[in-house]
Amino acid sequence: MTNRQMDVVEKKARELLNARGVTLDDIAELVYYLQAKYHPDLKMADCKENVDRVLRKREVQNAVLTGIQLDILAEQKKLEEPLQDIIDRDEGLYGVDEIIALSIVNVYGSIGFTNYGYIDKQKPGILEHLNDKSSGKCHTFLDDIVGAIAAAASSRLAHSAANTE
């Protein structure tokens, strides 16, 4: 990663991810999970670089800020019913969490949709942890956002590999 200046929105989005227990390495491992079989020489450093580049996008930062704030408000029981209960339970028919995630996936084209759908069903790595309700934390939005960042980074990686062929 370069030593570049981050604006306040990007810095806050990255801080919130870390505060919620999600590191760039965690997301890079998801990218590796999605792309290793298509890129035999794939390095974790390449996965991490692509995650970093995705996180530089304002649309992604806005989704991170919004989703995590909603999760925090739900943990604090500050949402009105029935929304409080819906987000607490991560109700399957709610879908707004996935819509926010799709705004991230859409940044890098249609391949991201399949990557996101796959990883959302498989729930490897950090996604399994984020979906564990026994922690007392609400990650209704965060798990989808993290999966979407990984899917977008995987798409970015696929596009860059296609351009080198």
pLDDT digits (tens, 9 = 90+) for 60-96: 999 999 999 999 999 999 999 999 999 999 999 999 9
CATH code given to domain 8-16+24-164: 1.10.3760.10
Other beta carbons within 10 Å of 59: 13
The pLDDT, as a whole number, for residue 164 is 54
**Percentage helix, strand, coil, to 5, in the chain?**
70, 0, 30
Please identify every stretch of the chain with a pLDDT value under 70, giving residue numbers as ranges.
1-3, 161-165
- DSSP letter, residue 1: -
The pLDDT, as a whole number, for residue 32 is 98
The pLDDT, as a whole number, for residue 1 is 45
Nearest Cα residue to 151 out of 58, 63, 28, 46: 28
The pLDDT, as a whole number, for residue 163 is 55
131: amino acid identity, one letter:
N
Q: For residues 111 and 150, is the Cβ–Cβ distance under 8 A?
A: no
The pLDDT, as a whole number, for residue 134 is 87
The angle at the Cα of 46, spanning 44 to 50, to the nearest 5 degrees, equals 115
Q: For residues 28 and 44, is the Cβ–Cβ distance under 8 A?
A: yes
- Name the residue ranges covered by the structural domains of the chain: 8-16+24-164
